[in-house]
Amino acid sequence: MQFQIPIHIPQLQPSISYEDNILLMGSCFTEHIGKFLEEDKFNIVQNPFGIVFDPETLSKSIVDLMEENYIDESELFQQDGIWHHWKFHSRYSGLDKAKVLEGMNESIKKGHDFLKKADWLILTLGTSYVYRLKETNQDLLSKNAELQNRVLVLESYIHKMSTDSIKTNAVLQDSLPHKHYDYIIGRVINNSISQVKNYITINGGSKNGLHSDMGVISQQGIVGIVRTVSDNY
């Protein structure tokens, strides 16, 4: 009687040797693998930014190493007396701002130099979820709205220039009104989905320049029309 299931794992080809340079990045599993390799005297560098779980952050970390993107002092932030950076694990944080900055940039330098000569790049993932700062998202939304408004102004200008160049139609074309639309960003804070007529509430009102009958759009297309407006919603 057999009380176990034999599992045959084929040997890796080519095999990792003691002459190889091994860069490991990713989840805590990377830390465990790296610990065993280091104890067995392999030449490794692991997690120059600390533990990273999701593929997006991991890919950005690799790009930062490739391009040797160092940290600027202005990018550090302080919480409870400790200096941190969003790209780095808290193991790199500390009380001394100058030492924290120096340690992070030294790690980037070390990772960059090692990546150029690495024979192996071992990546491990822990999650598919990515977390972003609300402040960053809000800033991106504002910049996107600003760019959209600039595009509309530019399109209107190009349209006017093109019509002015056609003398036979210049008078007619210039007499047509050119409507300019301004984009105002907003975020959904409440909505109904099961009613005959469904409504959404956004975090913007008359103080933000909104009024009834304005159109509402998203990246996916038309959402609807503003029905009622208060000062803030």
Give the chain's domain count. 3
Amino acid identity, residue 20?
D
Domain termination residue (choose one: 87, 103, 124): 124
Where helices occur in the chain by DSSP H, the ranges are 28-39, 55-67, 97-117, 134-164, 167-174
186: confidence class by pLDDT, cuts 50, 70, 90: confident
| Long-range contacts formed by 208-217: CB under 8 A, 24+ apart | 208/184, 209/182, 209/184, 210/184, 210/186, 216/186
pLDDT digit string (tens) for 96-149? 999 999 999 999 999 999 999 999 999 999 998 888 777 666 666 667 777 777
In a domain, 7, yes or no: no
Q: Are residues 164 and 82 in the same domain?
A: no
pLDDT digit string (tens) for 32-77? 999 999 999 999 999 999 999 999 999 999 999 999 999 999 889 8
In a domain, 101, yes or no: yes
Of 1, 19, 11, 33, nearest to 117 (Cα)? 19
User: Can the peptide bond before residue 14 be classed as cis, meaning omega within 30 degrees of 0?
Assistant: yes
Is the pLDDT at 172 greater than 50? The verdict is no
In a domain, 9, yes or no: no
Q: Are residues 152 and 201 in the same domain?
A: no
Q: 186-217: string of b/e by CB count within 10 Å (b at 16+)?
A: beeeeeeeeeeeeeeebebbeeeebeeeeebe
Q: Which domain holds residue 174?
A: 132-182
Per the listing, tokens 């009102």 go with 205
In a domain, 5, yes or no: no
